[in-house]
Each structure stands twice: as structure tokens, then as C-alpha cells.
Structure 1
Amino acid sequence: MKLNRRSLIAGSLALTATPVIGAAPRFESKRPANRHFTSPAVERELVRVSAKIGDPELRWMFGNCYPNTLDTTVFMDMADGKPDAFVITGDIECLWLRDSSAQLNPYVHLAREDPKLRELFHGLIARQARSILIDPYANAFMRDPMAKTNLPWALADDTEMKPGVAERKWEIDSLCYPMRLAHDYWKASGDAAPFDALWAEAARTSIRTFRAQQRKDGPGPYRFLRRDKLATETQILNGYGAPTKKVGMIHSMYRPSDDACIFPFLVPANLFAVAALRKLAIVASEAAKDNALATDAKALADEVEAATRAHGTMIDPATGQRLWAYEVDGFGNGHFMDDANVPSLSALAYLGAAPTSDPLFQRTAAAAWSDRNPYFFKGTAAEGIGGPHAGLRMIWPMSIIMHALNSNDDATIRQCLRHLKASHGGTGFIHEAFDQDDATTFTRHWFAWANGLFGELMLDLARRKPNLLGAPL
């Protein structure tokens, strides 16, 4: 197994061997005996969807992956007399705003029927709000809000590190994901309790941060340098990144992979911000009864959307067709690629940032899933999109999941399921990345976000393609 800087921390996940309902005898559950959090609604959903999966190996993987966040990454506590949920990313004992939001997303539709699950959402929404108020530019946080980072790669970073911050890489999506989570929880549960003054102040802070990173009046307060041999870990020009023309798009110094942007206007992240801000406006208006916050969020969304549509596309020289660029600088420079981490160009429909039927999105996603994308890899084990973070030839299962979610073609979806089934390298879990020719060479043995996203795909297919899911591969 290949390990990178996000390798397993000391110790390994204790596993038990109890049979999954309906699984073939050789497929033994990898769920731990001592589980961090259990939701009756999630357990019922696990049984319901498992019964609809015709392939025994996929059914086994779903049984391992779908509850993985609850089983292994949730730490419940109390703060100021209210629930506090700290959700680690898996093999790193820190909370990423992005990952923690995405990790709970597969369960949000069940919140109305499970008070215990609602308590978990209350706890995470509040923890994220407190984290944003510590530092809206940070991507990851410590469990103890007074602790210094213990991440070895972040100890010497040249940036304004505050207590409670684990890593301070400014990524637009770090603030988008909590907005999306809040909206989806509100719509699923009708529960306004989490949307209090703390939440509203964090939301206002997020909007102020987005506006500051439009950089209309100077470089803004954020800079970041890391002494590292990898160019993807640091920023040029004294930590402020490459020059841009200030056109109204939001600067992002890092991608959702935590890799440095080449051009600071990361197009999928800006489009995600547009969708997230509009979702924030709905929660502010309907749940928090804060019309001023809703108006501010909608105004910024409109501005960023207009700027991104004006400056975020490019002409594909191979076809003469217009595509979304991956990154641009506002001067007319940009490049086309896609990175498997979400937000990606391939994930725009999944995030609600583009309709699935939109021709511009369809052309872009098709180009990303082709040799037009320098990070599209095809080997004997599978094909899919990777990125610089794990290196060449390394396919991220996350991209295969997105490709299946984007498709309505049964043959395409079946091929994606075959690739996912081949990707786990005998572990029964979804990994960060695996070698295009050898799935036993992979990164991140314990990556809860990817496990949950696989669970989301199974839920989606159970609803959208039950006959396909119920048939053997």
C-alpha cells in the first residue's frame, strides 16, 4: 500500500468479523465492534438498500462503507449546554469543514425520523460555526479549540496560525460545504433549532471572507507559505499566489485536494460558492428569519455567477466548443483539466451548481472524462480521474462515483460499478486513490468521505435505477 502525507496515524482501525445480512459467506463485515455513534434510522436504511443490491460484493462494500462515518469518526460532546460533534476525516484526527459536511450528507434525508441523528447534525453545525469564527481561512481544525496543530506538515507554516487550527489552507469550498449542509438539513428536517445567532454570525463571517477574497481593494489578509519540496504545498509571490485581474470572482489559494491552485480563480469552487450562497439565503430567510443575511448572500451569489460566466470558460481547440475552464486568472489565461476532488468540474451537477441537462456542463464533464484531461487515467484495473495530489496513474474512486451519478446510461453505470468493485484491493472500503493497473496499490486505508460518497451512489441507484442495482454485474 502506498502512503502519502495523509497516511494513517499510529495504530490501525480495529475491525470485527460479523456477517452482513444477505452477504455471501466469504464477505464478512468490516464494521467495528465498538461503534462511535449508532442511528436506528441509518441501520434501517442500511438493511433496506442492501436488500436492493444484487451483486454480493457491492452489497458487502455498501455494508462496510455507508455507516463508516458514524461507526468510526464521530465524537459527541457538549459545548455551552448544547450538542457538539467533532467528525474526523478518518486517518487524520482533525475536522475538515469540507469532509465533515460531506461525511454526514448520506444521512441527512433520515434526520426527520431520528432524534439522535438530529442531535448529531445540531452538534456538527454548531462545531463548524465555532470553527469558522476561529478562522474562516482554515480548512481543518483541532478537537481542542485551544490546542496548537499537531499535523507535522503544518508545524512550520508561515501564516497566521491560531489555536484550534490544524491547517490553514484557504479553499473556497471549506465555507461552501457548511452552507450546503445547513440547507440540506433544514429541507430534510424542518428543524430550525441549529440556526441561531452563532450560526448566523459564522454565515456573515463566511460572506465577508468571500468578499475579501474577491480582492477588489488589495490582496486581503490571507497569505500562506510552506517550506516543502512539493510545489503543490505552497504559494508564490510571498504567499499571495499568482497575479489576477480583479473581475469579481473569488480567489482560492488551494483546491479541495489541498493542492495549490495554478491560477487563483478556481472555477468549480466559484460555481459551488454561487450555489451554496443561494442555499444559505434560503436557510437565512426560512429558518433563521434573517432577511438581511439572505439578501447579502443572494447579492454575492449573483455577482460571482456573472463574473464566472464572463471569465470562467474557454474554447476547446480540439472541437471549437466552449467548456468551463478549471482555473483562470481574469486576464484571459486559464487551463483545462479536472481533479477528482469535489468541487470538480465533473461534480457541478451533483453540487447543484449546474443542471445535469445543461449542454455546457455535459460538454465539460465529457471532456474531463477523456484524454483531453491530463489527469484522466485508463489502465487494466479501471479508468477515471485523479489529480496531482496522489500522482500520475492514480485513479480516485470519487471520480468514478461522480461519473455514475452524472449518467443515465445503464451500460456506463454498470461499468462504473465494476470499476468500484475492483478498486477496494480486498479491503471492502473505498480509498483515496488506486493504481490504474493494480488496485492493491492505494492511498488512504480509512477515508470516510469516499466511503460515504459510495453509499450515496447506492442510495441514488436504489431510487433511480433499481433494476440495474438489483441485477448481477
Structure 2
Amino acid sequence: MSRRSDPLFQRTQEHATPLDRRHFLAATAALAASAATPAFAAPRLPTKRPAPADRRFTSPAVERELARVSSQIGDPKLRWMFGNCYPNTLDTTVKLTTLNGQPDAFVITGDIPCLWLRDSSAQVKPYLHLAKDAPELRRLFHGLIARQSRCILIDPYANAFMEDPTAKSNLEWSQADETVMKPGVAERKWEIDSLCYPMRLAHGYWRATGDATPFDGTWAQAARASIATFREQQRKNGPGPYSFRRTANQPTETLLWGHGAPTRPVGLIHSGFRPSDDACLYPFLIPSNLFAVTALRELAIVAGEARKDAALAQQAIDLAAEVDAALRQYGTMRLRDGREVWAYEVDGFGNALFMDDANVPSLSGLAYLGCVAPADPLWQRTQAAAWSDANPYFFKGTAGEGIGGPHVGLGQIWPMSLTIRALSSSDDATIRACLKTLRDTDGGTGFIHESFDQDDPAKFTRAWFAWANGLFGELIVHLARTRPALLKATL
């Protein structure tokens, strides 16, 4: 059972076990602790932020940005939601301390008190553009980059980690997994993107600040371990050291024979699981391989410019080139109507799966991640197919339309798919439609959730999901910069 399929974390307003409800009410009480005082919160829409004394991390730069962007939002409810969502990671998920005199930041996902390499990187991304002139944010990024590096060195195959690096996992669903569980590991699902996201965070921080401080010997050691792990998972000489099996009701929670379905080694990197934490059907997960190419090239930039480590940079460049060549040869497929698109998964034997999942990296999210140009014809065809009935996880109901995935079931739309579509679009009508659906499917909570029912947004999962909240905040900040007129209009 995964972090999101466990019943403890399936949040709905109408369908909750007593244990669910206690956890939900406690989280809600913490988030709603203060009354509405900011100018951007209308009296009838009180802020859902914790009281200032209860916030886990405060950044004056983020508070200024919150006020600046809020003043540009014409729609009252959208303004209210931005005020709740944009600072949610800082308000509720960050624990910043010191270790050996250096910053140490542990960033939980929200309703699960563990650090996911993917989620934590994505959660802080909306603040990167402020970091250069904000010492408090630079300290946070230093601490998270350092923590992620130490986590990777504990186990580069793990996706989630404990705050205490000597502790056993406290996640109920991980206790009996058939894999090598080391102290400090919360869950050990091998996902390519788990190593890509720290590379992306390092590059984003370097580009935003020009500050080389976080890129010390530990960071370089973790970078080399990441490259070595990718190399192992090309599986040119056997299945490699990683295996994973779990007893669960859902087949997406375990790997066939511990290693996944058979493949033919072609230079692509195997992934046991998708960014949804669901098992791959075919182990060559194409969006994650594309992300790996981009992230490795970004790693090379940081290694070469910030550390002057030409050898590390070359290792990353060489692997990126090899995977990129394999993608061009094996990563595409044709739909029934003859259109060539990126596949979602392949096996190297000629078998391919077309679908898309809302979790990023996704096919729909390739332009957002910088893996393809937004105008690239191949990606344009792929995205159009993903947002159609060619994708078995594209859902359309009375509450809206969007992409979900197998993780929480059929008919469940993930708001993340709408946010990514708006971030990737240059069409005002498309962006406006996404904003309207996001605004109208919060279930009255003022936050973005993991998923909502296609016909009833009052039924949703994960009331406290910081990645989704931060991504929504990132979209609003992006629109304030690129399409201010659209943002000023009432939806």
C-alpha cells in the first residue's frame, strides 16, 4: 500500500473512517487557526493559514510576494485560494534546524510526516525566484539540498525518508516490504524522478542565486551516486541490486518477480514505480527518462560551473546523451489513428503503453519540465492525445475534465493536471478554463487536493497536500508575470 492509497490518508468530507476524521479535523484546525486580516482576504473568505505564531517557517520575501501578487488577482475566490496555498509549504511542512553548524531542512509532504525527494523539491520551487535577495530562503534551500544529499547517500533507491536518519520507517504500509530497508528510509520504491528532482532543485537554486555554497563534497558524492544508480538501472548486465515486493490488494503496489516486467536492454533507465508511486506496467517509463536527460544536463551545469568538477559534469553529459539516443529510437509509438506520440511506457521489445498520469513527470508535463519545447509537434500531438479519450485516465464529468491515474481510481481528476496544463499553455481560453475548474473544485476548503470526483468536488482526497498547493501558487505567480490582464479579470 502506498502513501496515497492508504485509507488513513484518503481525505473526503463525506466518507471518512473515525481515524481519518480525527486526523483531518486536527489538520484543518491547525490551518484555520487565524482570522482574516490580510487585505487580500475578503471578510467572507477568512484565511486558512495558521496563526503567525504557529507557522513553521516565515519568509518576509514570500509575504511580500504574496501581497504583491494577490493585489493583481481580480477573482475574489481565486485570490483567497492563492493566499492559502502559496505559503502552505512554509506554513505547515518545513522544519529548519542546524547540523554541524550548517542548515538542515526537513520538508514533509503534508499529511504524511516524511520527506519525499520529489515532493520536497517541487514544494519549494515556487520560492526560487525570491531566493537571491532573501537570506532566510537561501538558508532553507541550503538546508534542503544538504538533507536530500544525505538521504540519497543513505539509499539512492528510496523515494521517502524519515526525519531521524537512524529511525525505522513509521509508515504502516512499508513495514513488511520485501526489500532492503535501511535506517532512515520511510519507503523504498525505486522511481527515476526521485533522483531527478534534487538535480532540478540544485540547478534552479544555482541559476537563481549564483551561490555555490550548497554544492560541497557531500552534494558531489550524492550526485555521483545518482548517476551510478541510473547506470545500474540501465540493466545492461542483469537486473541489478534493487528488488521490491509488497503484499497488497492493488497490483500497482508491487513489482513482478521483484524486478518488474521483462525488458530488452536498449540504454533506457528502468523505473520500478511511477511518480504516483504506482508500479510501472513496462519498466521504461518514458516521461521519467526524458526528465532524466534534462536533469542530468542540469546537473552537469552545476558541477561544471559551481564546483569546477569537469569529471562529474562529463559523467552526467555522457549518460544524458546515451539515454537521449535511446529515447529517439524506442520512446515513441503510433496511436490507432496513425498519430506518432511519445509513449508512456515501453519494454524495448516493441510493446508500448499510451496513457498519462497527472503526477509529474508526465507526458502532459514535459514542456513544463523543459524536456521539450512547448511548440514541438511531437509533444503537441502527445498532449492532445493525453487530454482525450485516447488516454484511459482522462475523465470528464459535471465538475470538470482532467487527467487522473490508477492511484485513487476511475473518475477521479487530479487538480495537478489542470495546473500543469495552464502552466504549459499559451492560450488564454485554455488557461482561464483551467483556473475556473481549479477555483470551483476545492470543495469549499480554499486548498488544492490530490483528486476530486469528476461529478462532485465535495468528494476529494488529501486535504493537506503541499505539492498541489505550491504548484497552484506557482501558476498564479507565473500568470502575474506573463498574463497580468488575464489574472486581473474575474472568471
State the TM-score, normalized to the length of structure 2. 0.94
Partner of 2:46: 28
1:432·1:444 contact (CA, 8 Å) conserved in 2? yes
Residue 73 of structure 1: aligned partner: 93
Deviation of the 1:227 alpha carbon: 0.7
Does residue 485 of structure 2 align to residue 467 of structure 1?
yes
Instruction: Select 1:221's aligned residue among 234, 241, 261.
Output: 241
1:12 corresponds in structure 2 to 27
Whole-angstrom CA distance in 2 between matches of 1:189 and 1:226 = 43
Match of 1:355 in 2: 373
1:456 to 2:474 alignment: yes
- Check the 8 A contact 2:342/2:379 in 1, yes or no: yes
| Structure 2 residues not aligned, in runs of 5+ | 12-19
User: Which amino acid is 1:12 matched to?
Assistant: A
Q: C-alpha displacement at 1:18, in angstroms?
A: 2.1
User: Match for 1:106: what amino acid?
Assistant: P
1:12-60: per-residue Cα shift (whole Å, max 9, x none)? 2412222332332211100001100011111111011101111000000
Please give the secondary structure, in 1, of the residue aligned with 2:341.
strand
Aligned residues of 1:432 and 1:450 also touching (Cα < 8 A): yes
Shift of 1:75: 0.4
The separation in 1 between residues aligned to 2:125 and 2:156, in whole angstroms, is: 22
The amino acid that maps onto 1:64 is: N
* 1:343 counterpart residue number: 361
Match for residue 258 of structure 1 among 277, 285, 289 = 277
Report whether the alignment pairs 1:128 with 2:154.
no
Give 2:318's match in structure 1, choosing from 296, 299, 316.
299
Deviates more, 1:7-16 or 1:48-57: 7-16
In the alignment, does 2:266 pair up with 1:247?
yes
Instruction: Report the AA paired with residue 247 of structure 2.
Output: R
CA deviation vs aligned residue, 1:261-314 (integer Å, no higher than 9, x gap): 000000000000000000000000000111100000000000001101110100
Once residues 104 and 208 of structure 2 are traced to their aligned partners in structure 1, the CA distance between those partners, rounded to angstroms, is 20
- Give the secondary structure class of the aligned counterpart of 2:458: strand
Moved more, 386-395 or 2-11: 2-11
What residue in structure 2 maps to residue 38 of structure 1?
A: 58
Pairing 1:90–2:126 present: no
| Equivalent-residue separation in structure 2 for 1:448 and 1:117 (angstroms) | 17
Deviations 1:440-471 (A, max 9, x none): 10000000000000001101111111101100
In the TM superposition, what are the counterparts of 1:35-434 in structure 2 within 5 Å?
35-237=55-257, 239-318=258-337, 320-434=338-452
| CA offset digits 1:50-91 (Å, max 9, x no partner) | 011110000000000000000000001111221000000000
* Match status 1:435 vs 2:438: no
Structure 1 unaligned spans of 5+: none
Change (3 A) 1:295 1:208: same
In the TM superposition, residue 6 of structure 1 has moved relative to its aligned partner by 3.4
- CA RMSD, aligned part only? 1.1
CA–CA distance in 1 between the matches of 2:370 and 2:311?
24
Give, in whole Å, the separation in 2 of the partners of 1:471 and 1:337.
34
Q: TM-score, normalised by structure 1?
A: 0.98
Contact residue 4 and residue 390 of structure 1 kept, 8 A = no
Read off the aligned partner of 1:289 and give its amino acid letter. K
Spell out, residue by residue over 1:372-430, the C-alpha distance to the aligned partner (whole angstroms, 9 max, x if none).
Answer: 10000001111000000011000000000111112111111111111000111000000
Amino acid at match of 2:403: I
- Letter of the structure 2 residue corresponding to residue 165 of structure 1: V
Secondary structure at 2:27 match in 1: coil
State how far apart, in whole Å, the 2-side matches of 1:259 and 1:316 are.
24
Cα separation, 2, equivalents of 1:346 and 1:153:
30
The one-letter code of the counterpart of 2:152 is I
CA distance in structure 1 between the partners assigned to 2:7 and 2:425 by the alignment: 32
Q: Which residue of 1 aligns with 2:16?
A: none
Q: CA deviation at 1:7?
A: 4.0
Task: Give the match's secondary structure for 1:12.
Answer: helix
Identity %: 69
Distance (Å, rounded) in 2 between the aligned partners of 1:343 and 1:42: 26
Partner AA of 2:470 in structure 1? G
- Contact 1:214–1:250 (CA<8 Å) still a contact in 2? yes
The SS at the match of 2:402 is: strand
Shift of 1:5: 5.3
Q: What is the aligned length?
A: 470
Distance 1:216 1:3 in 2: 35
